[in-house]
């Protein structure tokens, strides 16, 4: 299962928790919901912070040295930094999930 499938699963979990089926809400493990929300929040923060910081730096440089065009390349530098941060976060997440899956398989083989 790749990362997109896992993210899709997390979105479905959130959807099932929020949607009302009949008069009762479907019960879902709260830990899965918190992990899903935190991952989405981390994606947003990891992408926005470098972009905003680079844009602010570009505006400051543009005002100080009368070079307003500096904002555009610094925007792309911030976007690349955000992408790099998200990429590393996803790699850690996948590595952690693969390690826990491998441990479960080893436990099953031992029994």
Q: SS in 3 state form for the chain?
A: CCHHHHHHHHHHHHHHHHCEECCEECCCCHHHHHHHHHHHHHHHHHHHHHHHHHHHHHHHHHHHHCCHHHHHHHHHHHHHHHHHHHHHHHHHHHHHHHHHHHHHHHHHHHC
Does residue 111 lie in a domain region? no
b vs e for 20-32, b when ≥16 Cβ sit within 10 Å of the residue's Cβ? eeeeeeeebeeee
CA quadruple 24, 26, 27, 33: dihedral sign: negative
Does residue 24 lie in a domain region? yes
pLDDT of residue 51: 96
Q: Shortest CA distance to 54 belongs to which of 26, 85, 18, 25?
A: 85
Does residue 81 lie in a domain region? yes
Total domains in the fold of the chain: 1
Q: Provide the whole-model pTM.
A: 0.63
Does residue 109 lie in a domain region? no
Q: What is the pLDDT along the chain (111 residues), one digit of tens a residue?
A: 677 777 777 767 766 666 655 445 555 567 777 888 888 899 999 999 999 999 999 999 999 999 999 999 999 999 999 999 999 998 988 888 788 766 666 655 665
pLDDT of residue 23: 44
Does residue 83 lie in a domain region? yes
Tell me the β-bridge partners of 21. Answer: 24
pLDDT of residue 17: 63
Residue 60: give the domain boundaries: 3-104
Does residue 110 lie in a domain region? no
């Amino acid at each position: 299962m790749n990362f997109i499938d896992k993210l899709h699963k997390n979105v479905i979990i959130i959807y099932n928790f929020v949607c009302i089926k009949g008069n009762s809400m479907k019960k879902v493990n709260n830990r899965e919901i918190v992990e899903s929300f935190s991952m989405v929040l981390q994606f947003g923060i990891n992408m926005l912070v470098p972009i905003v910081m680079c844009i602010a730096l570009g505006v400051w440089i543009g005002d100080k040295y009368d070079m307003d065009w500096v904002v555009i390349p610094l925007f792309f530098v911030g976007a690349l930094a955000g992408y790099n941060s998200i990429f590393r976060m996803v790699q850690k997440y996948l590595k952690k999930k693969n390690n826990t899956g491998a441990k479960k398989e080893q436990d099953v083989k031992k029994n």
